[in-house]
Amino acid sequence: MTGFWVDRRVMVTGGGGFLGSAVVRRLETAGAPGIFVPRSRDYDLRTREGVARALADGNPNLVIHLAAVVGGIGANRENPGRFFYENAIMGIELMEQSRLAGVDKFVQVGTVCSYPKFTPVPFHEDDLWNGYPEETNAPYGLAKKMLLVQGQAYRQQYGFDVIHLIPVNLYGPGDNFDPASSHVIPALIKKCADARTAGADHIEVWGTGSASREFLYVDDAAEGIVLGAERYDGPEPVNLGVGREITIRELVEVIARLTRFEGEIRWDATKPDGQPRRALDTSRARERFGFSAATSFEDGLRATIAWYERTRA
């Protein structure tokens, strides 16, 4: 427990989701006495009325905005307009209404998809504006990046304490395993585990396997968000990651080994790889508020696979 959280009334949008549930658990451990999670069935955060009602009912003095419409490459390609509009409008209205309601601090959680397609590796926060994002997820990434602009503008004009944190790709127990909308790790775990159970002799994987990604365990991401909310008050965006990358080909091999799938891996090169490389410079988070990821990648994968096997059973 820390003294910072003792008198904080916290509202966590998306607090019932994958990352949000982990953040709520971490806030409870930190000693936050009142955590309000507005559920989508009760509050439509895409509307001004829904946002205003949530703020009135929760009466927070600190807001952590995690609610988002997300998905993998396929979902982004099929829903570019929806992903842009719903993510932008939620954040814009929530930040504006929070300011008007007298909220003390607003934590905006962005996305690594905001970075330019060809960003020097490791991605440094100062490179955010040096090009256009990877095309398949650009609408989502740009919607989130506009909230960085809004937060900096509100800090400049109104003195509103808005911070912007950028987590890399997340994974962990409780992730989304729906093939229509899941990200790469849960999609691969499901493919490998289900193929092993069915006795299939192969799986098919999108792309060439040459793209690289960095992955952050969900509980580590929650730790970074809570530490940032407590200790950071600057206008500059801050990466949350581990600072190491792995190619998709290597990732498939690791997941196949951990799920005990021994069949053939077939690559569908007609499908997109997405951004060529993705790995973050994590020095700013370490220097500004002391965050370093603690979970080893294989330990995190084992926990995620075990959760999927239990849930599927």
Residue boundaries of the structural domains of the chain: 3-172+215-243+279-295
* Helical packing angle, 48-58 and 80-100, nearest 10°: 40
- The catalytic site residues sit at 140
- pLDDT at position 17, please? 94
Per-residue confidence (pLDDT) for residue 77, from 0 to 100: 85
Q: What is the pLDDT of residue 180?
A: 78
CB atoms within 10 A of CB 151: 23
Distances (CA, A) of 80 to 77, 133, 136, 137: 6, 13, 8, 8
Looking at 103-160, which runs of residues are DSSP E strands? 105-109
Write out the two tokens for 207.
């792309």
DSSP 3: G
Give the integer Cα–Cα distance in Å for 47 and 41: 13
For the entire predicted model, the pTM comes to 0.93
Nearest to 304 by CA among 175, 153, 191: 175
- In this prediction, residue 56 carries a pLDDT of 98
Residues 6+ apart with CB under 8 A from 88: 143, 146, 147
Q: For residues 153 and 174, give the distance between their C-alpha atoms in angstroms, rounded to a whole number.
A: 35
Superfamily of domain 3-172+215-243+279-295: NAD(P)-binding Rossmann-like Domain (3.40.50.720)
- The tens place of each residue's pLDDT in the chain, 313 residues long, gives 568 999 999 999 999 999 999 999 999 999 999 899 999 999 999 999 999 999 999 999 999 999 998 777 777 788 899 999 999 999 999 999 999 999 999 999 999 999 999 999 999 999 999 999 999 889 999 999 999 999 999 999 999 999 999 999 999 999 999 887 788 999 999 999 999 999 999 999 989 999 999 999 999 999 999 999 999 999 999 999 998 999 999 999 999 999 999 999 999 999 888 778 889 999 999 999 999 999 999 999 999 999 999 998 7
